[in-house]
Structure 1
Amino acid sequence: MNVSRIAVATGIAASSVLLLSGTAFAHVSVQPQGEAAKGGYATVNFKVPNERDNASTVKLEVSLPTEHPLASVMPQDVPGWKVEVTKSKLAKPLEVHGKKITEAVSKVTWTADGSKIAPGHFQQFPVSLGRLPEDADQLVFKALQTYDNKEVVRWIEESKEGAPEPEAPAPVLRLSAATEDEHGGGAKDAAAKDSKNSGHDEGTKSETASADSSDTTARILAIVGILAGIAGVAFGVLAGRRRAS
């Protein structure tokens, strides 16, 4: 009897863990394609799973962080979805490559246009972002997910350190350490490349100098050989004349 009770309790616990873990991974999230480094540019995917069994997702609205406005926001076309980009005036203009930016994208909205996210499926919405802030470790994007039964799920709660994860957490993009240039390549790599190229150039110069030296030696030997030949002919002619006399 005790064994049966333990087995039933274990089964219930296992089922609970599976259900909870499934729920935990069913949030709207943002994931970088590769690396999202501070001060650089990155392409990210907003991953939208369908959490309902009797409704399909037909709309996603993503609000960009106002405390860290991004000068460049370019969504990629997704078949079956219409995308709309909303811009807002900046309280403080940004300066990018010597140019002042007075407005930035504040929201990106995808609306179903012949497609939906059906139950048991997910959809990714790619966006190019930049330049990423250098004075932040993460960016928080608040999102609204709308179903075709008019239900709206607000993924806007910010997680707090040491506290349990909220029921509807906002998507968070973690930023990695800044690289030494905005496209992800470091100065060390450039220096190594320059050093390699320099070594290659020095080797080429050395080979060229060696080839020139060999060529000069060959010419000198050829001239010496010609002179020796002329001297030999002259000596033979003189010797023949003496015999004739």
Structure 2
Amino acid sequence: MSRPNPSRALRRLGIVTAAAAVAVVLSAAPAAAHVEVAADTPRALAENVTLSFLAQSESSSAGITELRVVLPEGLGPEHVVYESGPEGWEFAPTEDGYTVAGPAVPAGEDAEYAVVVHQLPDAEELAFKTLQTYEDGRIDRWIELAEADGGGHGSAAPVLALEPAAPGAEPVDATEEASPSPEPEPETEPEASAPADDAEETAAEDEDDGGFPAAAWIAVVALVLALAAAGGHLARRRAKA
């Protein structure tokens, strides 16, 4: 009967112990951090869509202070409006996207914010490359379109999958402004028509008098009165003579 080899048993015990230790470490290790994006209407050509972003923290000693986003093709800074974010954070457009930044969130906490997009492009998916900056100067670069390799800080950009556009949906120009309504034309002043009204009234009066102007009638009456007065004066002088 052979005796067990002590050295072989020790080697087996060491292998089992190491494997157990690796399993414990792997089970305790946190999942790789990343940036997530979601939409309330994840459909191509959808309008007034709210995009919600979650930037997970990878630092237990420094808080996130800025998120810089490079917009995908078909979206420009003029298409995006800031909706909400960490207290004190502000939105600023850039040449190829935008930044949301402000006071550092508490160390170890994630940063969440939301924007409203005028209209999503006609695409199957949209990638929002993101640079995540911490208060100690560290930058996580979530810019790769391939999957993260699972080591280090990771690098996959947040991607939003879109459903096909709704029937009849068409691209809308975000910069198109509504045409101003024509200003109403000023009303005609009553005084402007007064001379014409007076002329019409005068013509009507002339027609009532048989076509003989009223001024002529006045002149005739005055002449008759003058002749009558002259005749009376002459008659009185002859009576005295």
- Alignment check: 8 A CA contact 1:81 1:110 kept: no
Match of 1:57 in 2: 64
**Structure 1: which 4+ aligned runs deviate by more than 3 Å?**
1-5, 163-166
Question: In structure 2, which of residues 74, 77, 83 is the aligned counterpart of residue 76 of structure 1?
Answer: 83
The alpha-carbon deviation at position 23 of structure 1 amounts to: 3.7
The alpha-carbon deviation at position 178 of structure 1 amounts to: 2.1
Residue type at the aligned position of 1:122? D
Give per-residue Cα distances to partners, 1:13-44, cap 9 Å, x unaligned. 2422542xx342x1122122x33101103211
Distance (whole Å) between structure 1 residues aligned to residue 83 and residue 22 of structure 2: 44
Q: Which runs of 5+ in 1 are unaligned?
A: 89-105, 183-245
More strand by share: 1
- Go from structure 1 to structure 2 and tell me whether the alpha carbon gap of 1:147 and 1:54 turns closer, same or farther (over 3 Å shift): same
The alpha-carbon deviation at position 165 of structure 1 amounts to: 6.4
Larger Rg: 2
The alpha-carbon deviation at position 159 of structure 1 amounts to: 1.0
Distance (whole Å) between structure 2 residues aligned to residue 53 and residue 80 of structure 1: 20
Match of 2:206 in 1: none
SS of the equivalent of 1:12 reads helix
Distance (whole Å) between structure 1 residues aligned to residue 28 and residue 146 of structure 2: 22
- Alignment check: 8 A CA contact 2:52 2:114 kept: yes
Residue type at the aligned position of 1:60? L
- Alignment check: 8 A CA contact 1:78 1:125 kept: yes
- Go from structure 1 to structure 2 and tell me whether the alpha carbon gap of 1:50 and 1:117 turns closer, same or farther (over 3 Å shift): farther
- Alignment check: 8 A CA contact 2:63 2:109 kept: no
The alpha-carbon deviation at position 51 of structure 1 amounts to: 0.5
Residue type at the aligned position of 1:80? E
Question: In structure 2, which of residues 23, 27, 35 is the aligned counterpart of residue 28 of structure 1?
Answer: 35
The alpha-carbon deviation at position 8 of structure 1 amounts to: 4.6
Match of 1:40 in 2: 46
1:108 aligns with 2:98: yes
Question: In structure 2, which of residues 90, 96, 107 is the aligned counterpart of residue 119 of structure 1?
Answer: 107
- Alignment check: 8 A CA contact 2:92 2:100 kept: no
Identity level (%): 27
The alpha-carbon deviation at position 118 of structure 1 amounts to: 2.4
Q: What is the number of residues matched between the two proteins?
A: 156
SS of the equivalent of 1:10 reads helix
The two structures have a TM-score, normalised by structure 2, of 0.55
Match of 1:12 in 2: 22
